[in-house]
Amino acid sequence: MSGAGATTPTTVSPLRLFRVVAVAEAITWALLLTGMFLKYATETTELGVSIGGMLHGVVFVAYCVTTVVVALDQRWTPGRTLLGLAAAVPPFFTIWFDRAAERRGWLGTAWRLRHDEPATTLERPTAWVVRNPARGLLAGILAVVALTGVALLVGPPVG
């Protein structure tokens, strides 16, 4: 398309995507912890755990999927990728990891695989996601739904 009304599609950078999902994961941790306080400390309601727990579970999975996509695109080491994934376990660590990753230059402002050819088997689907943002978002949502479904079949965490 060309001319005065032409627009170019914009994509969210790895830095922006990772930050949004990392903050969302931390917010859902806060909701879950608030729900746990209401359930166990005040014994007023279990609704906070039911809603906060489900929201946190879905966003936790979304954070993990996002971490893997960003890690593959930004060529993170396996150790860095594991650290990013592990940051989702303790409350609010995703924000710490996001800030640390930005300071160290691990989160770029552009998708490498948008233009570079994929070099590994895992980079091929990641390149497709990056090059087709709308379909990639849909694929990401479907992956989160499927993985959340598997987690629900396995059952809630025991603790």
pLDDT in tens, 55-111: 999 999 999 999 999 999 999 999 999 999 999 999 999 999 999 999 999 999 999
Whether residue 4 lies inside any domain: the answer is no
How much is the pLDDT for 79?
98
Average pLDDT score over residue span 25-45: 95
pTM above 0.85, yes or no: yes
Angle value at C-alpha 15, between 14 and 19, nearest 5 degrees = 115
Whether residue 8 lies inside any domain: the answer is no
How much is the pLDDT for 158?
65
Range of the domain at 21: 14-154
User: What percentage of the chain carries pLDDT values higher than 70?
Assistant: 91
Give the C-alpha separation, 18 to 94, whole Å: 9
- Count of structural domains, the chain: 1
Whether residue 159 lies inside any domain: the answer is no
DSSP state of 41: I
**pLDDT higher than 70, residue 2:** no
Amino acid present at 50:
S
75's tokens: 């060529």
Residue with tokens 């727990």: 53
Across all residues in the chain, what is the average pLDDT?
A: 92
Tell me which residue of 17, 30, 22, 159 sits closest to 91, measured CA to CA: 30
Tell me which residue of 136, 106, 41 sits closest to 127, measured CA to CA: 136
- Binned at pLDDT 50, 70 and 90, residue 122 comes out as very high
Average pLDDT score over residue span 12-38: 96
Whether residue 31 lies inside any domain: the answer is yes
Whether residue 113 lies inside any domain: the answer is yes
How much is the pLDDT for 157?
64
Whether residue 2 lies inside any domain: the answer is no
Give the C-alpha separation, 60 to 159, whole Å: 18
Whether residue 43 lies inside any domain: the answer is yes
83 CB-contact burial (10 Å; exposed 0-12 / middle 13-18 / buried 19+): middle
How much is the pLDDT for 1?
43
**pLDDT higher than 80, residue 9:** no
Lowest-confidence segment of 45-49, 68-72, 109-113, 144-148 by average pLDDT: 45-49
> Please, what's the b/e burial string for 91-129 (b: 16 or more CB within 10 A of its CB; e: otherwise)?
eebbbebbeebeeeebbbeebbbeeeebeeeebeebbeb
Whether residue 141 lies inside any domain: the answer is yes
25's tokens: 């994961």
